[in-house]
Structure 1
Amino acid sequence: MIQSLLVANRGEIARRVIRTARRLGIRTVAVYSEADVDLPFVREADEAVCVGPANPAQSYRNAEAILAAAKSTGVEAIHPGYGFLSENADFARTVEANGLIWVGPGPDAISAMGDKINARNLMAAAGVPVAPGTTDPAADVDAALAAAESIGFPVMVKAAAGGGGMGMAVATDADSLRTEYDKVRAFAERMFGDGSVLIERYFPRVRHVEVQILGLADGRVVALGERECSVQRRNQKLVEESPSPAVSPELRQRFLAAAVRAGEAVGYRNAGTVECLLDPGSGEFFFLEMNTRLQVEHPVTELVYGVDLVEEQLRAASGLAPNFDPDALVPSGHAIELRVNAEDPKRFLPGPGVVKTWVEPTGEGVRVDSGYAMGTTVTPFYDSLMAKLIVYGVDRAEAIARARAAVAGFEVAGPKCNLPFFAELLENEEFVSGNYDTGIVSRMR
């Protein structure tokens, strides 16, 4: 097993990785920006190194500073968490070139899945269903229009190098496609340094379902069930649950088999997620993208399968067998995760500030993965996620009941907070029935 680990991230995911590493007896090193010096993860690591100012480009995305911290502290491995450098193939290659262990998939798999068009083409060749769309970037507006006419409106205009719901827009006709193509291309060039644009069929009523995969040290790829991620704002997730209330046992087997094929197609190792769109009317599903890292929502899978995914990442990176029987994976119960963000509960606009009250709920089946505490400050420099409230029950009804109680018992004051939205959602008839889709939040507003 790896004996020392640098966590190249911040907030709740840094604390999450440090917690498992400590349980396994692994020495941990945190890196932090000047803005995060007072956050809990900095204190909880065995050692902490400041890697730059608040601007993430100068700190958490500063590969040179992070590598320098790894060398100066003598760690064996780097865990990137999610976001920042986690899906940067060049950084992963540099880590390995410096004799360090990268706790994640190989750089080639990251590269293969990082470009959405290339990923679509690879998945289609592997027999994974993909939505109708372009097999090459739409070089200009005319090419985009021709593709849309062939696919049929409405279409999704997507940055080929994008991720996390960023760089996406819906075009309902030729005029809106002209406008959105230029916007997405400009955004992609600015944010990702790559203006390549993909045109894909848009499904007005669809569910977002993903499968957790794990590439083991012996080369096998296993699937640990699915997660429902259809409660979204601006194409970004707010709530996840496992198992999905929309997935039958027969459909689940098709989902899991497709996800395993996807992982095998790129020789996948370590933790990853195959994201799909599910047409609830026809039961058809289509590959959306593969996230070559640990997902924010991994705790719901952990609770349902009784597996510590961070431990499994570390075991796979160490060349060790998993701490579970891959041939006897049996899910049990139901888990729901609510992303507690520093944003207003109506328009979901960020609202940073000093945390004046922070009381986490407790009780049976309640877990809180938090990045903040009383007296800390949510700054405007990073994602608004403050904590993840995860609940578990023997079935979905019990999980929802526990979620209601936990939301009522979670007290946050200072920053804006979206907890009132969750209180509303958990009483929403559409959500409670399980018969919802990605449009649920807009219908609530």
Structure 2
Amino acid sequence: MKDPKASSTYAFRAAILHSLGNPTERGLEDSYAYFDDGILVVADGHVIRVGDAKDILPTLDDAVSLTTFENKLITPGFIDTHIHYPQTGMIAAYGEQLLDWLNNYTFPEEKRFKDVDYARKVAVQFLDELARNGTTSALVFGTVHKESVDVFFQEAEKRNLRMIAGKVLMDRNAPEDLTDTPESGYADSKALIEKWHNKGRLHYAVTPRFAPTSTSEQLSLAGKLLQEYPDVYLHTHLSENPSEIAWVNELFPDSKNYLDVYDHHGLLSSRSIFAHGVHLCEGECQRLSDTGSAIAFCPTSNLFLGSGLFPLNKMEAKGIKVGMGTDVGAGTSFSLLQTMSEAYKVMQLQGEKLHPLKSLYQATLGGAKALSIDEHVGNFEAGKEADFVVLDLHATQLMKFRMEHTHSLEDQLFVLMTLGDDRAVAHTYSYGHCVYSKTS
């Protein structure tokens, strides 16, 4: 394979697929563009052009570096709208539901992130796993330790990734050595915002863990940060588990519901992303829609922890933005391909279907819209950043055999989602440069 750095403009040839909009709104036929033999032209980290090879090849200058991928599909890089980098080392922890899982597994592991060297080691492993799975953008939880987020941003900056992350705010109902105070959480977050927000492709998210672990005073200061820095994000959890919801009702008896706790403290906006939202009432759904807030649909973790089935169609009927999240480490895979497979099953259990083109939208352009980064990434519109993944349609013997029996794009895509995982990722490109190549 030629080194694309050898030319200022370079091109990639393979089957190419990207979303143009939400299939629910535009209809399937108008929601995507597919080129069976396509070319993606990239320069200076941005998409110049995408289309049929027969149309683009005659226009390419001889100096352009052209890389051809056989039996491959190029799609936009995957966008993970909810994931915890400090939980990389405890993925696949057995046998608990949410609250016990936090106490028995999550908190003990997160204590280790006071050690900067350990935090850096995990950050490197985490970013390697994202690349190995074709994920080029993510909304990421750190720990309560300021240093854990500083290290994460350092490592993401080296790779020129579009990442959003934040220090956890947690001043009660957690181990003493994992809590901050309203004042220290505010000060640490402010310092990290000043250092990292909008530096290159990096952004900051104010990150209360969830309502039970923050006092009203801390949530008020989180709201103050959002007022002081209107373009930072808010990232937290919402209505994941019935026991969690009951706990919130006990802790905040004056609030109408779980979402109202956040709303009361000024935490809802078009840059607010709430993970899960499995058990929302009509009023909560309407308020999310009215404020332009988004939900991260996390099927693997919802199934793993027994939290419930996310009502995707209900959320979209309310006009709520929805992205897809792996939620590692309650989620069981870094792969958004596997996450799409589990999302299909979640919908099946509710008597509803999830079309593979809709799944691709949720994992790419839909995720970008949920994170308000769709002006930069999410599809191959000219001028967008060249984040993309090269998927091997013959990654395993079973996939190769099954692909020989497909008869449509939708069938191929569904096989890729159902049987695919990190083995299907041949190459991952961020800002036009390769950040991962499969070696075998």
TM-score, length basis structure 2: 0.29
- Structure possessing the higher relative contact order (Cα contacts under 8 Å, 6 or more residues apart): 2
TM-score, length basis structure 1: 0.29
